[in-house]
A and B are shown apart, each in its own frame.
Chain A
């Protein structure tokens, strides 16, 4: 039984899927928000998750880094099973980076300090090394000159790119995006999406909850449609957008792609 080693079933040690969710259920009180989720994400895959609000998309990806606790079923991240064991949770959080809709930068720290905080405290990196890593990723998201400013002095698009850099500084293997562009003015959406595209091109495993269908078409390996706590349909983008199989998917797409 795989419970002993904590490895995910369905693969040998070298070919472990990045994320494996099996029969995951979750309730908020009496409301069954996740109803039997089965999802496997291979390394390097880019998954876009879409669906109407309240379908459980955010809850599902938040279960992956234990910001929400699943109540039934099993979740494996890079072979590590997610349980209530703190050690496992810490290990998983080191592998998984997350970007939020509201950026969630630390307003009392400079951009550079935002990026060096976690590496210094969690990975016990030396100050200079953390600083170098931070400047490298700030350059990667194309805002190295803002390093000594505070989040309040940056635009929304810049703040979100800092949030992406901050997560990257921890060298995650998987990146989760929870509606990263939903809180941005339209003219800033492109700069963030471009950053995410370049991340994808470098081979990062990504799970992205978003309404940006253009991004899905361009970058996703698979598009997953969720409704009422269940995965209704998942397919490659061409098949998904060109030939949706379920009526619910068709209804949703007609509302989103006007």
Chain B
């Protein structure tokens, strides 16, 4: 067997990739210099000069010019749980854990059957709402206005996915293969929703909807906002999926019809799975964007993670430590968003497994 030329050790590869000629080398050296300088300054500020114990931001400043990480032990509860009463904070903690476990389980193939996944999420949401809201078994009632922090962000995102994805699938199928009147209606709905900024939808859901609907139909403000959010997400995702449907070879529909399958049968088994495979990158995009968009609920008065962080800073002792707090919040968002991306990539690899010879 002839060895592939040039596949020598690491030094040779680095040289080939970054130092191939004078121009490459110059640019590489400049980039390295910039990265090293920035890293040095950041590590200096964040780690070497960081203050881990202090009583307030000004106390931090008096100790050193570095990062005031002391804000975290003082304010972490607000960031994670919002304004939830202090002694009850085990409830959102447990609720968040339930949602995270449900999310992880949803990623395992065992749960990829409609009955099982429906049961999983109905149970998880039920548990979460029961825990957070309380009102029975001696758990004091805590209304949704007081839910907040990471727990609220997770709940918003989970609701968005669980409501928005099926909605998007139904809208996409209706618009692609429904009778004409349905296609027109769905088209109008999607275009309307896509033309309105998310903030306006949030306002509409929280302020305008109760004026229009009778009292018993209005429901809790949080749930109205979630519905509005899910409609927004569903409209965008529906168009993505429709693009996926259009990319499927029409011959497969003919084959399914020739085999005697009814439309709903081959939509479920042949078309939807393939549309999801085809649109996986865009769907991951939408999901990550959806996760970050949960911060919009701050506009209508909910204390999601970002708003809680702002509140944590407030105007008191720790107001000047805003950089540190926002870095932590950004890191938390990054952890979840990146996990979504990684999961999407692994799904893509799994789905492509059968396409390669």
Contacts from A to B (Cβ < 8 Å): 65, 67, 90, 93-94, 96-98, 100, 102, 104-108, 110, 117-118, 121-122, 149-150, 152-153, 163, 166-167, 170
Q: What chain A residues lie within 8 Å of B254 (beta carbons)?
A: 67, 100, 104
Give the CA-CA distance A107 to B352 in the complex, in Å. 10
Q: Within 8 Å of chain A (Cβ to Cβ): is B355?
A: yes
* Structural contact, A100 and B255, CB atoms closer than 8 A: yes
User: Number of contacts between A and B (CB, 8 Å)?
Assistant: 75
* Nearest CB in chain B: distance from A117 CB, A: 6
* Structural contact, A152 and B259, CB atoms closer than 8 A: no
* Structural contact, A90 and B260, CB atoms closer than 8 A: yes
User: Which residue of chain A has its CB nearest to the CB of B355?
Assistant: A152
Give the CA-CA distance A185 to B254 in the complex, in Å. 24
Give the CA-CA distance A166 to B258 in the complex, in Å. 11
* Structural contact, B355 and A94, CB atoms closer than 8 A: no
Given pairs A107-B274, A110-B354, A122-B265, 16 additional interface contacts (CB within 8 A): A65-B257, A67-B254, A67-B258, A90-B260, A98-B258, A100-B255, A102-B251, A104-B252, A106-B252, A108-B351, A117-B269, A121-B261, A149-B354, A152-B357, A153-B354, A167-B258
* Nearest CB in chain A: distance from B114 CB, A: 14
Contact of B258 among A96, A105, A152 (CB under 8 A): A96
Q: What chain B residues lie within 8 Å of A93 (beta carbons)?
A: 257-260
Q: What chain A residues lie within 8 Å of B354 (beta carbons)?
A: 107-108, 110, 149-150, 152-153
* Structural contact, A65 and B258, CB atoms closer than 8 A: yes
8 interchain pairs, CB-CB under 8 A: A104-B254, A108-B351, A110-B354, A117-B259, A118-B259, A118-B260, A153-B357, A166-B259
Q: What chain A residues lie within 8 Å of B356 (beta carbons)?
A: 152-153
Task: Please report whether the interface of chain B is mostly helix, strand, loop or mixed according to DSSP.
Answer: helix
* Structural contact, B270 and A118, CB atoms closer than 8 A: no
Q: What chain B residues lie within 8 Å of A90 (beta carbons)?
A: 260, 262
Give the residues from 260 to 284 in chain B that come closer than 8 angstroms, CB to CB, to chain A: 260-262, 265, 269-270, 273-274, 277
Q: What chain A residues lie within 8 Å of B255 (beta carbons)?
A: 98, 100, 104-106, 163
Q: Within 8 Å of chain A (Cβ to Cβ): is B87?
A: no
* Structural contact, B251 and A100, CB atoms closer than 8 A: yes
User: Which residue of chain B has its CB nearest to the CB of A153?
Assistant: B357
Q: What chain B residues lie within 8 Å of A121 (beta carbons)?
A: 261, 265, 269
* Nearest CB in chain B: distance from A3 CB, A: 25
* Nearest CB in chain A: distance from B279 CB, A: 13
Give the CA-CA distance A94 to B260 in the complex, in Å. 6
* Structural contact, B260 and A150, CB atoms closer than 8 A: no
- Residue-wise interface mask of B (315-357) relative to A, using a CB-CB cutoff of 8 A (1 in contact, 0 not): 0000000000000000000000000000000000001011111
Give the CA-CA distance A90 to B262 in the complex, in Å. 8
Do A107 and B355 form a contact, CB below 8 Å, given A100-B254, A102-B251, A121-B269?
yes
Give the CA-CA distance A150 to B355 in the complex, in Å. 7
A93, A106, A163, A170: most-surrounded residue (chain B CB, <10 A): A106
Give the CA-CA distance A65 to B259 in the complex, in Å. 10
* Nearest CB in chain A: distance from B268 CB, A: 9
Give the CA-CA distance A117 to B354 in the complex, in Å. 17
User: Which residue of chain A has its CB nearest to the CB of B251?
Assistant: A104
User: Which residue of chain B has its CB nearest to the CB of A113?
Assistant: B269
Q: What chain B residues lie within 8 Å of A102 (beta carbons)?
A: 249, 251
Give the CA-CA distance A121 to B259 in the complex, in Å. 10
Give the residues from 190 to 241 in chain B that come closer than 8 angstroms, CB to CB, to chain A: none
Contact of B260 among A106, A110, A122 (CB under 8 A): A122
* Nearest CB in chain A: distance from B266 CB, A: 8
B252, B255, B256, B273: most-surrounded residue (chain A CB, <10 A): B255
- Residue-wise interface mask of B (109-141) relative to A, using a CB-CB cutoff of 8 A (1 in contact, 0 not): 000000000000000000000000000000000
Give the CA-CA distance A93 to B357 in the complex, in Å. 33
* Structural contact, B258 and A97, CB atoms closer than 8 A: yes
Give the CA-CA distance A83 to B277 in the complex, in Å. 37
Give the CA-CA distance A102 to B251 in the complex, in Å. 8
Give the CA-CA distance A150 to B259 in the complex, in Å. 19
Do A170 and B355 form a contact, CB below 8 Å, given A67-B254, A104-B255, A108-B274?
no
* Nearest CB in chain B: distance from A130 CB, A: 13
Give the CA-CA distance A96 to B258 in the complex, in Å. 8
Give the CA-CA distance A48 to B356 in the complex, in Å. 36
* Nearest CB in chain B: distance from A193 CB, A: 21
Give the CA-CA distance A213 to B277 in the complex, in Å. 41
Q: What chain A residues lie within 8 Å of B351 (beta carbons)?
A: 108
Q: What chain A residues lie within 8 Å of B273 (beta carbons)?
A: 108
User: Which residue of chain B has its CB nearest to the CB of A119?
Assistant: B259
User: Which residue of chain A has its CB nearest to the CB of B248?
Assistant: A107
Give the CA-CA distance A243 to B356 in the complex, in Å. 50
A96, A100, A107: most-surrounded residue (chain B CB, <10 A): A107
Q: What chain A residues lie within 8 Å of B357 (beta carbons)?
A: 152-153
Q: What chain A residues lie within 8 Å of B258 (beta carbons)?
A: 65, 67, 93, 96-98, 167
Contact of B259 among A107, A122, A153 (CB under 8 A): A122
Give the CA-CA distance A167 to B261 in the complex, in Å. 12
Give the CA-CA distance A110 to B262 in the complex, in Å. 21
* Nearest CB in chain B: distance from A162 CB, A: 11
Give the CA-CA distance A106 to B262 in the complex, in Å. 16
User: Which residue of chain A has its CB nearest to the CB of B268?
Assistant: A121
User: Which residue of chain B has its CB nearest to the CB of A86?
Assistant: B262
Q: What chain B residues lie within 8 Å of A104 (beta carbons)?
A: 249, 251-252, 254-255
